Amino acid sequence: MEKASISRRKFLKNLGLAGAGVLMASSPWLSAFAESDKTSRYKVKIGIIGPGSRGQFLMSFLTKNPKADIVALCDIYQPSIDEALKLAPKARVYRDYRALLDDPNVDAVVITTPLDRHYEMAMAALDAGKDLFCEKTLCYTLAQCYEVYQKHISTGRILFVGQQRLFDPRYITVMKMIHDGTFGSINAIRAYWYRNNNWRREAPPELDELRNWRLYKQHSKGLMTELACHQLQTGTWALRQIPNKVMGHGAITYWKDGRTVYDNISCIYVFDSGVKMTYDSVISNKFYGLEEKILGSKGTVEPEKGKYYFEETEPAAAFVRLINDIEHDIFDAVPFAGTSWEPESANENKGEYILGKSPKEDGTSLMLEAFVEAVISQKQPERVTEEAYYSSALSLLGHQALEEERVVTFPDEYKLNYLNHVHNPILK
């Protein structure tokens, strides 16, 4: 057992995550790696449903994982199959996902189809006894998300949703700092994603809906389900609370090209304490990019940029280097000694990097490794699905608020026994 935990520590340390044990309190799903050194002789046989752009990206990691084998592919668009076969040439090809689910050779399924397809495929996969990795947003409606979650509980199958920030070393590290109180009390989160493109793929009219499903209401909820979903999660993770109210407005103000999803949205999520998380997205200006600014009484975190800032005196660069050296087992001199420091000589507040300048990865590969480990050990990591369920739920409720132009309250019937929803009276 001791050996296992040492090896897990080493594994996470390679990703820039020191002291994995301590991080577990903030990110309990890292327990997925608890037995990673004992599972090397296993191979999970995986089927991919909808290996389009995201599916192929996920495959590129899975093909490098010696514990995973992609044995089946299913798509209704030949170019996607052709591309996916380049990554997994030996995989069996299916046209109908149900046939793939009937394949007894498949242990686990990855769903990367358009949003409106998720529910039916996810339910069928869990019913077929497959462990499931479903891309975000979990489903097209909150009711469907709830059903899939309950199906995961009743079947006991593993369920992961593609919320890779949960496995991003920068987020994991900084959430621990937030939970330790490093930045004081968090009273506001300002999240946004700005892009400047039409989000449209070239396609003949008969393939437009299949290729550009993101632009049409019947398949997607646009910016809320495609982008916000990832970022709203930062709020619940940081505050360990679910906001119970949301209001907002959505419109098409620039890309009036026949799309039916908004290209300009703003939402305000309200936590019970009155703390607010705002979410904005426009796709006609990209200057500010994306961020989730976490505003605490003692400091600010910009996890996308990978930086944090203190309100008052900044930490001394030499001391930050010293503690980083210590974490990396380095015994070296740090240059700071000299004549007395005076406040007048303080520099502009440039902030500190959470994990160095260039992050090693965004969490996707670690998330997939965690999924494979969970399938092998048949242990659902704590909280990973609940966090993802609520990211989906919040993005869908936000969308509802935009559509109905009213304050939407979190419906009791879709609350899980989780965080501040734990006293939900309608739960047994």
Query: Smallest distance from the beta carbon of 36 to ligand NAD, in angstroms?
Result: 23
Tell me the site size for another protein, rule CB under 8 A.
36
Calpha distance 311→295 (Å, rounded): 10
- How close are the terminal C-alpha atoms of the chain, in Å? 36
- The CB-of-265 to ligand NAD minimum distance in angstroms stands at 16
Binding status of residue 22 toward another protein by CB under 8 A: yes
Binding mask of the shown chain, residues 138 to 177, with x at each position contacting another protein by CB under 8 A? ---------------------------------------x
For residue 323, the partner it binds in another protein, ligand NAD, none, with Cβ less than 5 to 8 A by kind, is another protein
- In the complex with ligand NAD, the residue whose CB is nearer, 53 or 260, is 53
Answer yes or no whether residue 312 interacts with another protein by CB under 8 A: yes
- 21 forms part of the interface with another protein (CB under 8 A): yes
* Residue 214 φ/ψ, nearest 5 degrees: -60, -25
Which residues 306-365 are close enough to bind ligand NAD by CB under 6 A? Answer: none
Which of these ranges, 8-16, 73-81, 173-181, 284-292, lies near ligand NAD under the rule CB under 6 A?
73-81
CA-to-CA dists, residue 229 to 136, 172, 213, 264, 399, angstroms = 7, 18, 17, 16, 11
Task: Tell me the CA distances in angstroms from 70 to 56, 182, 365, 379, one per residue in order.
Answer: 11, 43, 15, 21
109-168 binders of ligand NAD (CB under 6 A): 112-115, 117, 135-136, 162, 164
Contact predicate 379/33, CB 8 Å: no
Nearer to ligand NAD, 8 or 136 (CB): 136
- Which of 14, 197, 340, 358 is in the footprint of another protein by CB under 8 A? 340
Name the binder of 55 from ligand NAD, another protein, none, CB < 5-8 A by kind: ligand NAD
Strand partners, 247: 268
Q: Is 356 in the site for another protein (CB under 8 A)?
A: no
Instruction: Confirm or reject binding of residue 222 to ligand NAD (CB under 6 A).
Output: no
CA–CA distance, 232 with 22 (Å, rounded to integer):
24
Residue with the two structure tokens 């686990």:
108
Tell me the closest approach of the beta carbon of residue 146 to ligand NAD, in angstroms.
Answer: 18
Point out which residues pair with 249 in neighbouring strands.
Answer: 266
| CB-CB contact of 298 with 292 (8 Å) | no
Q: Smallest distance, Å, CB 315 to another protein? A: 6
Smallest distance, ligand NAD to C-beta of residue 132, A? 13
- DSSP code of 108? E
Name the token pair of 98. 């149900």
Name the residue number minimizing CB distance to ligand NAD: 52
Q: Which residue has the tokens 């199958």?
A: 157
Q: Which is nearer to another protein, 127 or 327 (CB)?
A: 327
377's CB contacts (< 8 A; 6+ apart) are 32, 34, 35, 39
7 binds another protein (CB under 8 A): no
Give the HSE-up count for residue 71: Cα atoms under 13 Å, Cβ half-sphere.
16
Q: Which of residues 251 and 323 has its CB atom nearest to another protein in the complex?
A: 323
Burial class (CB in 10 A: 0-12, 13-18, 19+), 246: buried
Selected range binding ligand NAD among 36-44, 50-58, 288-296, 341-349, rule: CB under 6 A:
50-58
User: How many whole angstroms separate alpha carbon 384 and alpha carbon 371?
Assistant: 10
Nearer to ligand NAD, 17 or 166 (CB): 166
Contact of residue 177 among ligand NAD, another protein, none (CB under 5-8 Å per partner type): another protein
Select the residue interacting with ligand NAD from 12, 74, 375, 388 (CB under 6 A).
Answer: 74
Contact status, residue 174 vs residue 296, Cβ threshold 8 Å: no
- 182 prior amide bond cis, ω within 30: no
Amino acid letter for position 403: E
Q: Which amino acid is at 5?
A: S
- Check if the beta carbon of residue 137 is closer than 8 Å to that of residue 225: yes
- When CB distances are held under 5 to 8 angstroms depending on the partner's kind, the choice from ligand NAD, another protein, none that residue 89 binds is none
Stretch that binds ligand NAD, among 13-21, 47-55, 279-287, 402-410 (CB under 6 A): 47-55
Nearer to another protein by Cβ, of 247 and 334: the residue is 334
426 CB neighbour count, 10 Å cutoff: 7
Residue 4 Cβ, how far from another protein at the closest point, in Å? Answer: 13
Residue 187 in tokens: 């009273």
Which residues of this protein are in contact with ligand NAD, per CB under 6 A?
Answer: 49-50, 52-55, 74-77, 80, 97, 112-115, 117, 135-136, 162, 164, 210, 226
Q: Which stretches of the chain bind another protein, using CB under 8 A?
A: 18-19, 21-22, 177, 180, 182, 298-299, 310, 312-313, 315-316, 318-320, 322-323, 326-327, 329-343
